[in-house]
Structure 1
């Protein structure tokens, strides 16, 4: 038995050593990291608007009861049932019980809409929630936006393993805070903390993939699969959050995500060995030099404005549904399901197809479709009317992301030094700007001129930006860079997958590729 145990241990260690060289396992780790990050990102979409509304309504009712009773007794307000329940119970010195007959969510009568118990009790309070919810949603992207310029160069110096593991640790802490926070301030801190963890995970993860998949077509396919993890998170997050919130409560979905995060952390510890610091093999192009590259800026702009459309919808669409459709809690998350499914389909299809049809064309078409789809969203009169436009939004954003993320790495290979931490920090900055400006500006615009005009504005912006993608059709590059890329792509197509290098920066380059320096 002792020799058998030693043999099993030896085989396990040998398997781990081999798997550390496997690009597929690295791709799986990045996939899981993006999955968990975006599940946490979107699981709050159907929960937070209703939860904060209930908190504010509870505080308003308690204050009103105290003023009526002339005292501030702690027991003057015992409970308020959710705005979606059949009755509201208020108790205190002058307690009353008001029961309201429930009207089905699909009942037509606009005149009686506001009297239904499925509708919010205070439409003015609901409209004011747009700004509050928008600022909370934007806090994550804002913090991530500020963190990315530091994470990108850091990965160039110490490698990708440590940053992505630190991102897991921060993400786990943020998830626990979401589970047990019961005030706006604590939720805001949890959301902001998630931005730091997300910056570490996304920048290091994308840079790691770009460093191990040096062939442009393979890189596009791998990044498309990794974005599938993002899509899965966006897909599962809203319906998972809404169903769990209505039938179990606010804490349960976040505890489940925390458990899944522990699995991801254990996998990273075994495979990536995050305690090992890998020094940079070559000095990358400075971040500010990359930011001045007009072609990188166009690709970043497509990522930003494409994702800004869905970012504006996240805090405002649930509130608009509550106000106009009397939507149930579970419907607030399920409404995003078509966009999530289509995003998953879009990233999977165009991860490879975009390279063949031209990534510039794929992004151009995607931006136009995003614009048209978001303009059609306000025409929906019920949750079923949202299926087609939301499907178009998700599918088109999948086209844009699966085209522009790989082209970021290609532009660096073509025009700069092939070190990817900084360029994917720029890509993540663009992504975060969409999700920072979208909710914050979108909430204010929706409060001022209404949700339909908000969708019209962002739709027109996307359509007007789309022609700029033509400049990415044939970006100029250094002649020696073009020759090296052609030689590298040819050698990668004939190289056996069993002889691929490790995921450390530069390890999978051929000896003759020293010209990169």
Structure 2
């Protein structure tokens, strides 16, 4: 065995015990999962619109007359915001179509004027519903899968579900790359929901189990959520640029290669072939759901993320209709929200512990509501920068506060086994991304995009005062008895809510002796 091989094996053995390496694996898993989640945001509305209208235009012209598809070939789509050029197969003459009437033109292509942009006709409005349902399918399947994944991690550990999430995500990515119909895209998106459930529940539970100190746990989860934020940040512009200049398949092939790298890292470090169940029996899932404080934390996650979930399918179509935006702009429009989410999770992963996570979540919910109300006032892509930046930053505040609170509430009020509580957190996240696109698309179609933003903005503002109840959540009597039992052989932790710091029973005993 060479020195290099020996060093690598030693590094892997040490890595299996390293909290930082486990954090890196969770970071990468959330990064790639959310890249796949958001890379489709600018691609799917454009792709579905293009294949639908290409199919229609190959058989009929704008007056409904049948055309010979072999005689004319479309070069530019309406969605590109360029004038459609057709090539006559017989004489190779170029004709420019304007409003459905052909006029001779020697120009190969011209830029579109606003009249050529997609309008609010029935076909464009129907895209809201189709795209919304497709986007919501992932979160819906994830929502249904989470109640099974949480208890499963308690029985077999976090490693096997984590690796299963990688395998399913790889299959989903390949399906996205080569699917050419709405049905196959829908299946790929739904399959991703199963993989995401495995990765997010097992990943967060793993972090909560290896980072037992409240402050360290908050910092670690802030970093892990930074991976989520990076995925959300990179996904839309990455997808839209490669889609426009290379093709639909390219971004998914690149993602598939990155997913394989993450799977190899998990295989060597986590050893997912061996089950490693929890030493304690966790609190039943239904008991956790009945806890009002856990419900408030879950509700904050749900409604905050529902704001961006409603934006994803509806904003690109609204931009097409009102701003005549090109494909690359549909992805770049989400860039400020992604950057600010990354900033918010990293700042408040540390700061929220000092200022009070309840206060951080309260302010975040208020800012989400106010920012989302300002989105419809934008007249161009530059007008979207400030409100979308505010939305992303505020959601980062909420997520980086509520994820550690979930683990803390289990420590304080239940058995310190975290699979089920992070299944609830992921259910809340998925409810936002399932309910948001599916219902949001229908609302945008029926009463308009501005009213959609008004409704979700008001909901976030009205929910925010409930975060005040998380300021001093009480411990349950039986849990307090365990915490106060200084004779317990396990070093127990007692949380002092006013100072938000941990003290051990041994320290309290020494202070009383003095």
Does the TM-score normalized on the shorter chain lie above 0.5?
yes
Q: Give the unaligned 5+ runs of structure 1.
A: 105-111, 495-517
Q: Would you say the 8 A contact 2:222–2:349 is kept in 1? A: yes
**Cross-structure match for 2:295:** 297
Q: What do the CA deviations read for 1:152-192 (whole angstroms, capped 9, x no partner)?
A: 00000000000010000000000000001111000000000
Take 1:216 and 1:392, find their aligned partners in 2: how far apart are those partners? 28
Take 2:251 and 2:2, find their aligned partners in 1: how far apart are those partners? 41
2:412 matches 1:417: no
Instruction: Give the C-alpha shift of residue 78 in structure 1.
Output: 4.7
Provide the alpha-carbon RMSD of the alignment.
2.4
Local SS of the residue matching 1:98 = strand
2:494 matches 1:486: yes
Q: Would you say the 8 A contact 2:493–2:504 is kept in 1? A: no
Instruction: Give the C-alpha shift of residue 58 in structure 1.
Output: 1.6
Local SS of the residue matching 1:44 = helix
**Cross-structure match for 1:129:** 127
**Cross-structure match for 2:361:** 363
Aligned pair in 2 of structure 1 residues 96, 132: CA closer, same or farther (>3 Å)?
farther
Take 1:92 and 1:139, find their aligned partners in 2: how far apart are those partners? 42
2:471 matches 1:473: yes
Take 2:221 and 2:383, find their aligned partners in 1: how far apart are those partners? 32
Aligned pair in 2 of structure 1 residues 272, 75: CA closer, same or farther (>3 Å)?
same
Q: What do the CA deviations read for 1:298-345 (whole angstroms, capped 9, x no partner)?
A: 000000000000000000000000000000111000000000000000
**Cross-structure match for 1:319:** 317
Take 2:35 and 2:460, find their aligned partners in 1: how far apart are those partners? 26
Of 21, 43, 59, the residue aligned with 1:47 is: 43
After TM superposition, the score normalised by the length of structure 2 is 0.88
Of 64, 72, 77, the residue aligned with 1:82 is: 77
Within a 5 Å distance, the mapping from 1:89-108 to structure 2 comes to 89=85, 97-99=95-97, 102=110
**Cross-structure match for 2:21:** 25
2:36 matches 1:35: no
Take 1:76 and 1:93, find their aligned partners in 2: how far apart are those partners? 5
Take 1:317 and 1:436, find their aligned partners in 2: how far apart are those partners? 16
Take 1:121 and 1:382, find their aligned partners in 2: how far apart are those partners? 16
Instruction: Give the C-alpha shift of residue 149 in structure 1.
Output: 0.4
Q: Would you say the 8 A contact 2:81–2:326 is kept in 1? A: no
Of 233, 247, 251, the residue aligned with 1:253 is: 251
Aligned pair in 2 of structure 1 residues 351, 482: CA closer, same or farther (>3 Å)?
farther
Of 37, 54, 59, the residue aligned with 1:58 is: 54
Local SS of the residue matching 2:96 = strand
**Cross-structure match for 2:267:** 269
Question: When the two structures are aligned, how many residues end up with a matched partner?
Answer: 478
**Cross-structure match for 2:448:** 450
Within a 5 Å distance, the mapping from 1:58-457 to structure 2 comes to 58-64=54-60, 75=70, 78-79=73-74, 81-83=76-78, 84=80, 86-89=82-85, 97-99=95-97, 102=110, 113=114, 115-116=115-116, 119-120=117-118, 123-457=121-455
Q: Which has the higher contact order (CA 8 A, sep 6+)?
A: 1
Instruction: Give the C-alpha shift of residue 358 in structure 1.
Output: 0.6
Q: Would you say the 8 A contact 1:415–1:481 is kept in 2? A: no
Aligned pair in 2 of structure 1 residues 466, 66: CA closer, same or farther (>3 Å)?
closer
Local SS of the residue matching 2:473 = coil
Local SS of the residue matching 1:486 = strand
Q: Give the unaligned 5+ runs of structure 2.
A: 99-108, 485-491, 496-500, 508-514
Local SS of the residue matching 2:41 = coil
